[in-house]
Structure 1
Amino acid sequence: MQRWESKLSRAVGYGLGAAALGLAGVVAGGTALARRVVTPDLSPAEPVLLDRIEREDDRIIVWLRGRHADLPGQYSLLFNGDAGHARVGPVLAIDRGAVSRQVLQVDRGVLQAGARGRLTGWWYATPEAVGLRTERIHYETELGAAEAWILHPQKVRRSQRGRWAVHVHGRGALPEETLRGVLPLARAGITSLVISYRNDPGAPAGDYGRYGMGVAESRDVDAAIAETLRRGALRVTLFGWSMGGTAVLRSGTTGRYAAAVDGLILDSPAVDWPALLRHQAAAVAAPRPLADLGITLLKRGVVRGGEPGGIDFPSLRPQTVGRALQVPVLLHASRGDSFVPCAGAEALAASRPDLVQLRLQDEGEHVKLWNTDPEGWEAVTEQFARALPKPGWRGDLLVPPVRLD
């Protein structure tokens, strides 16, 4: 996220400077902004410096400096180009700009003063670390085979056989991001399929090697649902994070296998893309006309995204999404999310109070809501999953059984 904001800032800075040259400069700035939105980052930023390490009795304490080093809650510390992974607890102290946290576990690598890294909300370094029986598989998408993980609940009651979930990470993240959502669903007897999708390291490249803002990615979610149905799923819960939330909303409402979906769980979802892009442009001092131009260029396909023919922005707004909803939705959002404002989630909840349950926190950065309150987050998620009705009935109409070609 930080690297995306840095590159967006440079792109907008170029556009603002060029704007002084006239219309051509404005177009150049809008084009640069639009390209940044749909272009995958090759490597994540490492804004956190491991300043020093202390040992107190049997505890290891790290002192960190940099952006988001003082976030409330517990996190993964990825360092040395993600080669190292440690889990750190809440903030213990702040001294002259440095933040101390206890190291709870080192999963890989060696912590050394001077290393650079980043705090993420992922927590689990591998699917096996969740503690469930895991299978590593490939599933077929329209672009080719993509990697995925199956995590099996320890005990499945007969009534829960055939219940699956598909977990979908956000823009620029990896499947590890979603593993926090597996255990509460496993306790409800649900088998989880954690997927990679187009442009991920374990999946084929998308059109032009770019993102489709959840629209193109939703067809990979459709393919993942098909994989669960082939493996015996009778009902599927979709769980999406950030842009993965966009993909899940689309797949669960208008996707090919929407009739098999019994509910949606969303964390920090991108629900209102026009408002989101204007917010992110404003964060780096881009005037609204420049952001609007970037949206128009993506919508018309002048700037190519990962969706042939352009991005369907009118369908990526809360009111449009709300009208299409047919199953219950649990929506985790935070007033502390500086990257995807919670206004879109609130608007979606307001548009469909009959289906949407909004869990709105006061603190928690983007896709880091679990990290500030893991017990509460998991309890609500598990309760929602347990209560989901069987799919098939939509009002007074019985949807025909889902069939695979």
Structure 2
Amino acid sequence: MQGLRWGRALALGIVGVLGGGAIAASVGSILGGAALARRAVTPAVVPESPVTVIRISEAGGSPERRQVHLRGADADLPGRYSFIFDGGAGHARLGEVIAIEGETVVRELVAVDRGALQAETRGRITGWWFTAPEELGYRVDRITYRTELGEADAWIVHPRFARKRRWAVHVHGRRALPEETLRGVIPLARSGITNLVISYRNDPGAPPGLGGRYGVGFSESRDVDAAIAEARRRGAERVTLFGWSMGGTACLVAATRGVHRALIDGLILDSPAVDWSALLRYHATAQSVPAPIAGLGVEMLSRGLVTGGESGGLPIATLHPETFAPELTVPVLIHASTADTFVPSAGAERLAELRPDLVQLRMQPGAEHVKLWNVDRSGWEAVTRVFVRALPHQPWRG
């Protein structure tokens, strides 16, 4: 509400000076910028459900080989995905695209794990695939860890043959859940690494952040710090950070500016948000918001005129490749895609250009945001496994 009150007050001040169309334009710009800023940092109460089930059929007359007919955004993506419906209560797994019939996409229906999938069901396609850590086949402990805001839920996934004192912390993206990161646990567990999969502020099972708003990865980095402290308390001497989307921002901040960065031996980032000013402006353009209004929204977040996760404003100007690059001291593997329409790969590419000595960039063609594993699971996991096994025993601080 702080930003809205500020916007209204400033608008009233403008009314006293200007008249006619100038007033309307100025007020519209201010309120438009505030609205854009709020959307960027507000968690979704109910995730969007842009995909509709048209019908379910049997392939070749076999009841064990079912197909689902879909319409909507992302229905035709290549690869294998989760379909989440009934507000998260329902979950199905979708295989590859079998056919495209006009506006309808036919996919293999691999399984319905929970809920009743039927015609007219609405939901969303995600890259998660796994619904619980136990599905990975490893021993799991469900714990809480202490953050600056209170206790938050987490999972410990134990490898079958643990490498002594070696851990990883997995951090999901904006408006996602910890289940998103389970794909990344697999190659690390096979490499003997103990995995701590965390929730963070504003998640179910975690405390709310300031005003219930996101901190674009900056505020959340302190929860990553707290998770590293928890791993250390349990015996970790080396910690690899694995971040997805905004979770990638949080990992970058923790690795370059966090209180426990000396324990970090490397970063793995999938579709990371590396340049927040450019990202916010990109989304504004996609919504046909004029550039001056987009710039005003970014300024409002930076100054704290619209509440984000930090009381004094979000340091958006420091969350871009040119500031992260000189601060990096450990190897980084980035999975990115030029087909990503949510977080363009330009920021990741720029970071790799600035630090070729530390940053390995794997570009996955034809994959959408945080859905690279789904398009090429074997390649994604192989590169990740090679990278994590090659990390130095002592974090490099060159």
TM-score range, shorter chain: over 0.9
Q: In the alignment, what sits opposite 1:3? A: none
Instruction: Confirm whether residue 167 of structure 1 aligns to residue 173 of structure 2.
Output: no
Q: Unaligned 5+ residue runs, structure 2?
A: 1-20
Alignment of 1:198-213 (within 5 A): 198-213=201-216
1:78 aligns with 2:84: yes
Alignment partners' CA distance in 1, 2:172 and 2:23: 39
Amino acid corresponding to residue 252 of structure 2 in structure 1: L
Aligned residues: 375
Gap change, CA 1:393 and 1:331, over 3 Å in 2: closer
2:275 maps to which residue? Answer: 272
Paired with 2:78 and 2:395, the residues of 1 have a C-alpha distance of 42
* Matches of 1:50 and 1:128, distance apart in 2: 28
Matches within 5 A, 1:295-334: 295-334=298-337
- 1:19 Cα offset (Å): 8.4
**d(CA) in 2 for partners of 1:333, 1:284:** 23
Q: How far, CA to CA, are the matches of 2:395 and 2:24 in structure 1?
A: 59
- The answer (yes or no) to whether the contact 1:64–1:100 under 8 Å persists in 2 is yes
Show the counterpart of 2:130: 124
Report the Cα offset of residue 245 of structure 1. 0.3
Residues 1:30 and 2:33 are matched in the alignment: yes
Show the counterpart of 1:5. none
Does 2:158 align with 1:145?
no
Provide the secondary structure at the position in 2 that maps to 1:335.
Answer: coil
State the match for 2:7 in structure 1. Answer: none
Deviations 1:22-80, CA, capped at 9 Å, x for gaps = 21221111011111111111010111101001112230110011111001110001112
Q: Any conservation in 1 of the 2:330–2:396 contact (CA below 8 Å)?
A: no
Q: Residue by residue, what CA displacement relative to the aligned partner does 1:98-117 show, whole Å, maximum 9, x if unpaired?
A: 11111112211122111111
- Offset of 1:391 from its aligned partner? 2.7
Cα distance in 2, alignment partners of residues 197 and 19 from structure 1: 44
2:359 corresponds to: 356
Q: Take 2:91 and 2:28, find their aligned partners in 1: how far apart are those partners?
A: 43
Q: Of 366, 371, 376, which residue of structure 2 is paired with 1:368?
A: 371
Q: Using the alignment, how far apart are the partners of 1:19 and 1:363 within structure 2?
A: 45
CA RMSD of aligned residues (A): 1.1
Corresponding residue for 1:8? none
Amino acid at match of 1:379: A
Shift of 1:313: 1.4
CA distance in structure 2 between the aligned counterparts of 1:39 and 1:390, rounded to whole angstroms = 40
Query: Offset at 1:394?
Result: 1.6
Task: List per-residue Cα deviations over 1:316-336 (Å, max 9, x = no partner).
Answer: 010100110000000000011
Number of the residue aligned with 1:13: none
Question: Matched residue of 1:223: which SS?
Answer: helix
Q: Is the 8 A contact 1:138 1:147 kept in 2?
A: yes
Gaps of 5+ in 1: 1-17, 396-405
**1:341-381, Cα deviation, whole Å (9 max, x unpaired):** 00000000001000000001121111111110000000000
- The answer for the alignment partner of 1:335 in structure 2 is 338
| In 2: Cα distance, 1:19 partner to 1:294 partner | 19
Residue deviations 1:207-252, cap 9 Å, x none?
1110001000000000000000000001000000000000000001
Distance in 2, matches of 1:23 and 1:102, equals 52
Mapping for residues 2-401 of structure 1, pairs under 5 Å = 21-56=24-59, 57=62, 58-156=64-162, 160-395=163-398
Moved more, 75-84 or 227-236: 75-84
- In the superposition, relative to structure 1, how do residues 114 and 238 fare at CA in structure 2: closer, same or farther (>3 Å)? same
Return structure 1 stretches of 4+ with deviation > 3 angstroms: none
The Cα shift of 1:392 comes to 4.4
TM-score (norm 1): 0.91
**Per the alignment, in what secondary structure is the counterpart of residue 120 of structure 2?**
coil
Q: Once the 2 structures are TM-superposed, how far is the Cα of residue 172 of structure 1 from its aligned partner?
A: 0.4
Offset at 1:191? 0.5
Q: 1:65–1:97: 8 Å Cα contact kept in structure 2?
A: yes
1:318–1:347: 8 Å Cα contact kept in structure 2? yes
Deviations 1:141-188 (A, max 9, x none): 0000000000001122xxx21110000000000000000000100011
Q: Is the 8 A contact 1:19 1:25 kept in 2?
A: no
Task: State which drifts further: 21-30 or 225-234.
Answer: 21-30
What secondary structure, in the 3-state scheme, does the structure 2 residue paired with 1:155 have?
coil
- Give, in angstroms, the shift of residue 393 of structure 1: 4.3
